[in-house]
C-alpha cells in the first residue's frame, strides 16, 4: 500500500532509517521488484545500464554480510571523526547518528532483505570524469529505490562500510560477484519502518552551501 504523500514530502522525508526498521515483519519480493523497476528509470551514462542489483534473502548470507559490516564498523568507529565548528547544527546531531549507526551494526543481520547495487567495471585508479560518470550511472538509481521504498512504508540506510579493507572481496565471494569485473556500491537493509511519520532533517541552510557564478 502506498502512503498518501506528495512528491515533495517523499523527497524531504526519505531518511537513512536504522532504529526504526521493523526486523520482524516480512518483506514481499514483488514490492522490492516494484521499487527496483522504478530505479531502472533513473539516468545512466550513455544509456549503458551497467547496473546490477543483488537482493539477499538467504539468512546465512545475510548474516555473513552483516558480520563483514560489523567488523569493519568497529574499525571505522575507532577513527577520528570530522570536527565541526561550535554552533554548527551537525555537532548536535552527531551523537544520535553515532548511536543509530552502532545499533544498525549490531542488528544488521536481522534485516529481512539486503541490497547490494553494483556497476560494471572496476573503479579503482580512474580519473574524476570516469568516476563521476560511473557512479552517476548507479547512485541515482539507488536513491530512486530508497524513495520508492519510502512511498510504500518501507525504509533503508545508505551504508558503504562493508566495502573497506577486504570487505568488498569477501562479499563478492559470498555472493559469487565477479570482483575483477564488478564494483559494489553499498549495502542496504530493506525493511518496513516502524511508523511512517518521518520529518525533514536539520540541514545547513542553503545560503551556506549555495554558490552563484563563483565559489
Q: 184: which residues sit within 8 A by CB, 6+ positions away? A: 116, 117, 118, 163, 168, 171, 172, 177
Using alpha carbons, select from 206, 201, 199 the residue that is nearest to residue 92: 201
Nearby residues of 16 by Cβ (< 8 Å), 6 or more positions away: 156, 157, 158, 159
* Partner residues linked to 16 by β-bridges: 156
The angle that helices 167-175 and 59-77 make with each other, rounded to 10 degrees, is: 180
Question: Grid coordinates representing 69?
Answer: 559490516
Q: What is the pLDDT of residues 179-209, one digit of tens each?
A: 999 999 999 999 999 999 999 988 888 999 9
Assign 71 a pLDDT band (cuts: 50, 70, 90).
very high
Residue 168 pLDDT: 97
Q: What is the chain's mean pLDDT, rounded?
A: 93
C-beta separation of 171 from 177 below 8 A: yes
pTM of the model: 0.92
**pLDDT at 64 exceeding the cut of 80:** yes
Tens of pLDDT along 84-134? 677 666 666 666 777 888 999 999 999 999 999 999 999 888 899 989 998
Q: Which domains does the chain have, with CATH numbers?
A: 15-79+91-194 (3.40.109.10)
Q: Is 55 helix (H, G, I), strand (E, B) or coil?
A: strand
Amino acid at each position: 500500500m502506498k502512503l498518501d504523500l506528495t512528491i515533495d514530502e517523499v523527497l524531504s522525508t526519505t531518511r537513512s532509517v536504522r532504529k526504526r526498521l521493523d526486523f520482524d515483519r516480512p518483506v514481499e519480493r514483488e514490492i522490492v521488484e516494484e521499487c527496483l523497476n522504478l530505479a531502472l528509470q533513473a539516468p545512466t551514462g550513455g544509456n549503458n545500464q551497467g547496473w546490477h542489483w543483488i537482493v539477499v534473502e538467504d539468512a546465512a548470507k545475510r548474516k555473513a554480510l552483516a558480520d563483514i559490516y560489523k567488523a569493519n564498523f568497529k574499525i571505522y568507529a575507532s577513527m577520528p571523526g570530522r570536527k565541526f565548528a561550535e554552533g554548527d547544527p551537525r555537532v548536535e546531531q552527531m551523537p544520535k547518528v553515532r548511536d543509530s549507526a552502532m545499533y544498525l551494526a549490531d542488528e544488521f543481520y536481522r534485516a529481512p532483505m539486503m541490497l547490494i547495487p553494483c556497476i560494471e567495471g572496476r573503479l579503482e585508479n580512474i580519473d574524476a570524469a570516469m568516476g563521476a560518470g560511473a557512479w552517476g550511472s548507479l547512485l541515482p538509481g539507488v536513491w530512486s529505490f530508497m524513495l520508492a521504498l519510502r512511498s510504500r512504508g518501507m525504509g533503508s540506510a545508505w551504508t558503504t562500510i562493508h566495502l573497506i579493507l577486504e570487505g568488498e572481496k569477501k562479499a563478492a565471494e559470498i555472493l559469487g560477484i565477479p570482483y575483477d569485473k564488478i564494483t559494489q556500491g553499498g549495502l542496504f537493509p530493506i525493511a518496513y519502518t516502524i511508523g511512517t511519520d518521518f520529518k525533514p532533517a536539520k540541514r545547513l541552510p542553503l545560503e551556506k552551501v549555495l554558490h552563484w557564478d563563483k565559489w
